[in-house]
Chain A
Amino acid sequence: MTPLLELLEFAVTRLRTPVVRGLSFTLEPGEVLTLVGRNGAGKSSLLEGIAGLHATSGELRCGGRPLAGAAIPERLRAGVVLCAEGRSLFPEMSLRENLLLGGYLAPRDAALRRAEELLARFPLLAERSAQKAGSLSGGEQQLLAVCRALMSGPRVLLLDEPTGGLAPLYRGAIAALVREVVAEGERSVILVDDNLDFALDLADRVLALAGGREVFRLTRSDRPSADLILRELLAAERRATPQDEGRTNREEA
């Protein structure tokens, strides 16, 4: 089976600074990959780099199709879609219009059909389809953002902080949606979320970043837990920082 997404020596540059360096991994169809790391480790930048928002170097392929340097519409057609942190909805437009814009590149009737399907799937959203996106609750907005990303028919869905500030009810809905996306074994998801329990629960594999580089990987068989991840990250940091004598080791005393 060919991998769905391939990264080779992939690097992302923002504001003249490399924020992701020398990253190589592949993503198989039907897989959820969770990225972990501290604030500023480069998780969001990696997703945005794959989606085409920043300058990148190295190779990037989706289903064998080279995407490095491609414009965003080309990436969308190849099936790479980012649901960005902070949602980036269009606040003055109705929920329905937001959804339809998710299918901006698709033919009009296909987009309409897909929007109907999604609205039927989420009665919660269907009820408010005429309401302005800006007036929805945080959870509804997030659900809408994920649905908007689904409108373009993604093969690789990049989810950045999908549960930021959400009530458990919506967290469950989004988890179910992610499972549904990968269920048929054709599409895959890369997930970044502050809520480690949520993110690890869905993960087939875990990739940890620190300072823009990969520090370790785990698979489901490692039974990743929040505890394990934090411990490993701390250990990785220790390897990176040479020990100062005495005064630095308070927390280990």
Chain B
Amino acid sequence: MSGLEELPRDRRWHQRLTGPPWQLRPGVSRRGRRLLLPLLLAAVLAAAELAAPDSFLTDLLGTACIAGIMVLSWTVFCGPTREISFGHAFFIGSAGYLAGFLQARSSWNPWSALLAGVGCGLLLGAFVALFTARHRGLYFSMVTMALQLTLYRALFLRSDLLGGEEGIVGVRSLAATRTGIYATVAAALVAACIVVDAFLCSRTGLLLGATGENEQLARSLGVRVALLRLRGLTLAGALAGLGGGLYVLTQGQANAELASEEISIRTLLLGTIGGLWSVPGALLSVFALQGVQAALFRLTRQDALAYTGLLLGLVLLLPRGLLPLRPRWPRQRSCPRPTTLGPDHDAPGLMLSDLGVRFGGVKALDGVSLEVVRGESIGLIGPNGAGKTTLLSVIAGVRRAEIGEVRWGGRALGAMDEAQRARLGIRKTHQQVVYFPQLTLDEHLAVAQACWQGGEFEVDAAALQRLAACDGAAGEAAPLERLPPSRARLAEIAMALAAPPELLLLDEPFAALDREEVEAVCEAIQALQRRGVTMVIVEHRLRELFRLVERVVVMDHGRIISRQPAAQVLDDPVVREAYGLREREGNAG
């Protein structure tokens, strides 16, 4: 589910960047700024208690705090992944009922019961992550909804045990006084806010966001999607469990409404109205709308109608939500986890033996064997439909070869998928324009570096600067979806530069670029070559290609028809025939 929403109209969406964009920005002040929101929240909640202790206001805020925890638990997973959970009441209800049951029926200490509720949510989150490993988009929504319905129905199956519609009553509260209850839920909300913000801003949060933007591209960078989703959903489940547990352990009862679609829908609405991927937005929508609801209740008898009308107005007029402030990620210059020291020049390189792929009856690859030693760059040319892109896809693991073998560094890659190969240092750029629509160029680089497994290194700042400067400095802070597609192509090269792979497969890196951009890409490729990156470059613009490679391999009809040093390739009669060149190029140059 990427690029679903309309382009942002709101300028606030972009954080203003200061200083030259390609210098390292220290991350120190960021943590301080991130604590602002929880501090502000704590201050407001405390002020309310001081101003009007044990009042209607604090009761109202207490309810909003619990709702806020539920909405944050929705935001923490659904925000970055853009998945719409339709059944958050599954977590909330299960945890709430468990906590209530343990307290009221088994006489647990309320705090232990709360902990059990959180644990229950956590486990269910992990369960949903495993269940929905292959479900995306609407199918994910459907699974969550069905789980919620299952729970809801189950509550009525064991009315004797769970009390049916009425639920479990007489649950002992977490605190004896109104002030105690208020303090508990307020503290829980502030804590949840800190945790959610920390998660969203973390490396995991960034990669999860990238997955939501473009899962295919994220996989090709080596992102472990299943693991990220597991982490996100586990946290979401635990927080929802906290919300459900707190609700039951402060209200004194767990009723079936807690597991109904009403809760799911309310959570979903508050989460999206605030701004899908925005913690401040979620909090704002919860508190503001709770306040509005209470005010309307006093003002008019048709309060529910007025409130729903207001919601409709909000979703129609503010397509991106009240506060569409998503988290930001600075680029890092070096990786925090050094493991190896750059490419090993003595290790075996790329070995292809006898690869074969068929599309229908057509042989797209037919017995292709090739060796590329470490640090070498070769060009791969041939007429359209010769099988060049297919070959790159097979090496990168996007497509499986029916016969033959791909080896890298002496290791047979066999059934490894794209992400696994990316983690071995094999990366392929795309012929089409692929990118993370809402992320800025800087954040693309942050994603690439977050996937980086290699050791510390210096980014070639000059080459990167050159790439970034192609379009003027206009687009530094803009999401790529608002920039021309050529920027997205440059971003893919820039990602390779910011976190160099060991083997880079470039599929028509110059297509649809203008002269200045081509020069910048050439420079970036040369910078990577200096780092010892092995490359296979498919390109039609032979002139630029021959600047970059020593050796050229020519393909036609799925076979390699010629291997030549770049300088001589156009003299080869076989090549000339494949290209339809019958005589020596005349007075060229």
Q: Name A residues whose Cβ lies closer than 8 Å to a Cβ of B.
A: 15-17, 19, 38-40, 165, 194, 196-197, 211, 226-227, 230-231, 234-235, 237-238, 240-241, 247-253
Q: In the complex, which residue of chain A has the Cβ closest to the Cβ of B583?
A: A227
Are B484 and A17 in contact, with the CB atoms below 8 A?
yes
When the two chains form the complex, which single residue of A15, A16, A226, A251 contacts B580, counting CB atoms closer than 8 Å? A226
B566 in the interface (beta carbon within 8 A): yes
Q: Convert B531-573 into 0s and 1s, putting 1 for each residue whose CB lies closer than 8 angstroms to a CB of A.
A: 0000000001111001100000000000000000011001000
Q: In the complex, what distance in Å separates the CA atom of A196 from the CA atom of B581?
A: 12
The SS class assigned to the A binding surface is: helix
Q: Interface size for chain B: under 10, 10 to 19, 20 to 34, or 35 or more residues?
A: 20 to 34
Q: Which residues of A sit under 8 angstroms from B582, Cβ to Cβ?
A: 227
Interface centre among A16, A235, A240, A250 (most CB of B within 10 A): A250
Beyond A15-B484, A38-B540, A251-B542, whether A231 also contacts B585 by CB under 8 A is yes
CB proximity of B378 to chain A, nearest CB, Å: 15
What are 26 A-B interface contacts by the 8 Å CB criterion?
A15-B484, A15-B485, A16-B484, A39-B384, A40-B511, A165-B362, A165-B385, A194-B384, A211-B514, A227-B580, A227-B581, A227-B582, A230-B579, A230-B580, A235-B588, A238-B588, A238-B589, A240-B515, A241-B543, A248-B543, A250-B546, A250-B547, A250-B567, A251-B546, A251-B567, A252-B588
Q: Which residues of A sit under 8 angstroms from B385, Cβ to Cβ?
A: 165, 194
Are A39 and B540 in contact, with the CB atoms below 8 A?
yes
Are B580 and A40 in contact, with the CB atoms below 8 A?
no
B486 in the interface (beta carbon within 8 A): yes
B313 in the interface (beta carbon within 8 A): no
Q: Which residues of B sit under 8 angstroms from A211, Cβ to Cβ?
A: 514
Are B512 and A40 in contact, with the CB atoms below 8 A?
yes
| A-B residue pair count with CB separations less than 8 angstroms | 67
Interface centre among A196, A227, A237, A249 (most CB of B within 10 A): A227
B508 in the interface (beta carbon within 8 A): yes
Q: Which residues of A sit under 8 angstroms from B543, Cβ to Cβ?
A: 234, 237-238, 241, 248, 251
Q: In the complex, what distance in Å separates the CA atom of A15 from the CA atom of B547?
A: 31
B19 in the interface (beta carbon within 8 A): no
Query: Besides A234-B585, A237-B541, 17 other CB < 8 A contacts?
Result: A16-B484, A17-B484, A17-B486, A39-B384, A39-B508, A194-B383, A211-B514, A226-B580, A231-B585, A234-B588, A238-B588, A241-B515, A241-B543, A248-B543, A250-B566, A251-B542, A252-B589
Q: Which residues of A sit under 8 angstroms from B566, Cβ to Cβ?
A: 250-251
Q: In the complex, what distance in Å separates the CA atom of A248 from the CA atom of B546?
A: 8
Q: In the complex, what distance in Å separates the CA atom of A14 from the CA atom of B362?
A: 33
B586 in the interface (beta carbon within 8 A): yes
When the two chains form the complex, which single residue of B483, B580, B588 contacts A196, counting CB atoms closer than 8 Å? B580
Q: In the complex, what distance in Å separates the CA atom of A232 from the CA atom of B350?
A: 37
Q: In the complex, what distance in Å separates the CA atom of A252 from the CA atom of B568?
A: 10
Q: In the complex, what distance in Å separates the CA atom of A249 from the CA atom of B589?
A: 8
CB proximity of B575 to chain A, nearest CB, Å: 12
Q: Convert B511-524 into 0s and 1s, putting 1 for each residue whose CB lies closer than 8 angstroms to a CB of A.
A: 11011000000000
Beyond A248-B543, A251-B567, whether A231 also contacts B580 by CB under 8 A is no
Interface centre among B483, B566, B581, B585 (most CB of A within 10 A): B585
CB proximity of B515 to chain A, nearest CB, Å: 6
Q: In the complex, what distance in Å separates the CA atom of A251 from the CA atom of B585?
A: 10
CB proximity of B439 to chain A, nearest CB, Å: 17
Q: Which residues of A sit under 8 angstroms from B567, Cβ to Cβ?
A: 250-251, 253
Q: Which residues of A sit under 8 angstroms from B585, Cβ to Cβ?
A: 231, 234
Q: Which residues of A sit under 8 angstroms from B515, Cβ to Cβ?
A: 240-241
Q: Identify the 5 closest CB pairs spanning chains A and B, nearest first.
A: A40-B512, A226-B580, A252-B589, A17-B484, A40-B511
Q: In the complex, which residue of chain B has the Cβ closest to the Cβ of A242?
A: B515
Q: In the complex, what distance in Å separates the CA atom of A48 from the CA atom of B433?
A: 19
Q: Which residues of B sit under 8 angstroms from A241, Cβ to Cβ?
A: 515, 543
Are A39 and B579 in contact, with the CB atoms below 8 A?
no
Q: In the complex, what distance in Å separates the CA atom of A250 from the CA atom of B545?
A: 10
Q: In the complex, what distance in Å separates the CA atom of A227 from the CA atom of B581?
A: 5
Q: Which residues of A sit under 8 angstroms from B541, Cβ to Cβ?
A: 38, 237
Q: Which residues of B sit under 8 angstroms from A251, Cβ to Cβ?
A: 542-543, 546, 566-567, 570
Q: Which residues of A sit under 8 angstroms from B542, Cβ to Cβ?
A: 251
Are A247 and B547 in contact, with the CB atoms below 8 A?
yes
Q: Which residues of A sit under 8 angstroms from B540, Cβ to Cβ?
A: 38-39
Q: Which residues of A sit under 8 angstroms from B512, Cβ to Cβ?
A: 19, 40
Q: Which residues of A sit under 8 angstroms from B484, Cβ to Cβ?
A: 15-17
Q: Which residues of A sit under 8 angstroms from B580, Cβ to Cβ?
A: 196-197, 226-227, 230
Q: In the complex, which residue of chain B has the Cβ closest to the Cβ of A194?
A: B384
CB proximity of B11 to chain A, nearest CB, Å: 18
Q: Which residues of B sit under 8 angstroms from A230, Cβ to Cβ?
A: 579-581
Q: In the complex, what distance in Å separates the CA atom of A38 from the CA atom of B514?
A: 13
Q: In the complex, which residue of chain B has the Cβ closest to the Cβ of A238?
A: B589
Q: In the complex, what distance in Å separates the CA atom of A251 from the CA atom of B385?
A: 24
Q: Which residues of B sit under 8 angstroms from A165, Cβ to Cβ?
A: 362, 385
Q: In the complex, what distance in Å separates the CA atom of A154 from the CA atom of B581?
A: 36
Q: Which residues of B sit under 8 angstroms from A227, Cβ to Cβ?
A: 580-583
Q: In the complex, what distance in Å separates the CA atom of A241 from the CA atom of B508?
A: 18
Beyond A40-B511, A227-B581, whether A17 also contacts B586 by CB under 8 A is no
Q: In the complex, what distance in Å separates the CA atom of A234 from the CA atom of B546?
A: 14
Q: Which residues of B sit under 8 angstroms from A248, Cβ to Cβ?
A: 543, 547
Q: In the complex, what distance in Å separates the CA atom of A167 from the CA atom of B546?
A: 33
Q: In the complex, which residue of chain A has the Cβ closest to the Cβ of B585?
A: A231
Are B588 and A231 in contact, with the CB atoms below 8 A?
yes
CB proximity of B392 to chain A, nearest CB, Å: 15
Are A17 and B485 in contact, with the CB atoms below 8 A?
yes
CB proximity of A103 to chain B, nearest CB, Å: 31
Q: In the complex, which residue of chain B has the Cβ closest to the Cβ of A165?
A: B385
Q: In the complex, what distance in Å separates the CA atom of A165 from the CA atom of B426?
A: 31
Q: In the complex, which residue of chain A has the Cβ closest to the Cβ of B513?
A: A40
CB proximity of B386 to chain A, nearest CB, Å: 11
Q: In the complex, which residue of chain B has the Cβ closest to the Cβ of A197?
A: B580
Interface centre among B486, B541, B589 (most CB of A within 10 A): B589
Q: Which residues of A sit under 8 angstroms from B511, Cβ to Cβ?
A: 39-40
Q: Which residues of A sit under 8 angstroms from B486, Cβ to Cβ?
A: 17
Q: In the complex, which residue of chain A has the Cβ closest to the Cβ of B582?
A: A227
Q: In the complex, what distance in Å separates the CA atom of A16 from the CA atom of B542?
A: 28
